[in-house]
């Protein structure tokens, strides 16, 4: 697990505290799973799960309400939301994990 965590460390999660917004690796994972249809079914669920797992591996958690998350991922899949928009949403709806 330490190898995976080291491989997927995210400087953007640390930058969130400083108010820096921009490209976020979690958004890239979410976009790829949602748009590329890697699986026969469940790509949107996998997309949201990948975002959440990535954030958790980097000491953050997704705080968005389920209904809002569904709307965002649906918009991403439909092409109505960009990766940059998703990055902004992730940063606005995530917080450091309570330890």
CB 90 within 8 A of CB 47: no
Find, among 26, 93, 97, the residue nearest to 60 by Cα.
97
Write the CATH number for 83.
Answer: 1.20.120.1870
Question: Can you tell me which residue has the tokens 């995210």?
Answer: 10
pTM of the model: 0.72
Per-residue pLDDT of the chain (99 residues; tens, 9 = 90+): 333 343 344 555 555 444 443 448 889 888 888 877 777 888 889 999 999 999 999 899 999 999 999 999 999 999 999 999 999 999 999 999 886
Residue 68 structural domain:
2-96
Q: Within a 10 A sphere around the Cβ of 51, how many other Cβ atoms?
A: 30
Question: Can you tell me which residue has the tokens 């939301």?
Answer: 81
Give the C-alpha separation, 15 to 44, whole Å: 27
Give the C-alpha separation, 41 to 56, whole Å: 24
Total domains present in the chain: 1
Report the pLDDT value the prediction gives residue 32, as an integer from 0 to 100.
83
């Amino acid at each position: 697990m330490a190898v995976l965590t080291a491989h997927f460390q995210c400087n953007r999660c640390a930058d969130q505290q400083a108010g820096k917004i921009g490209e976020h690796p979690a958004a890239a994972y979410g976009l790829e799973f949602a748009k590329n249809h890697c699986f026969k079914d469940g790509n949107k669920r996998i997309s949201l799960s990948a975002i959440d797992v990535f954030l958790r591996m980097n000491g953050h958690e997704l705080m968005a309400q389920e209904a809002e998350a569904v709307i965002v991922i649906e918009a991403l899949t439909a092409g109505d939301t960009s990766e940059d928009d998703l990055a902004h949403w992730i940063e606005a709806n995530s917080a450091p994990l309570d330890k």
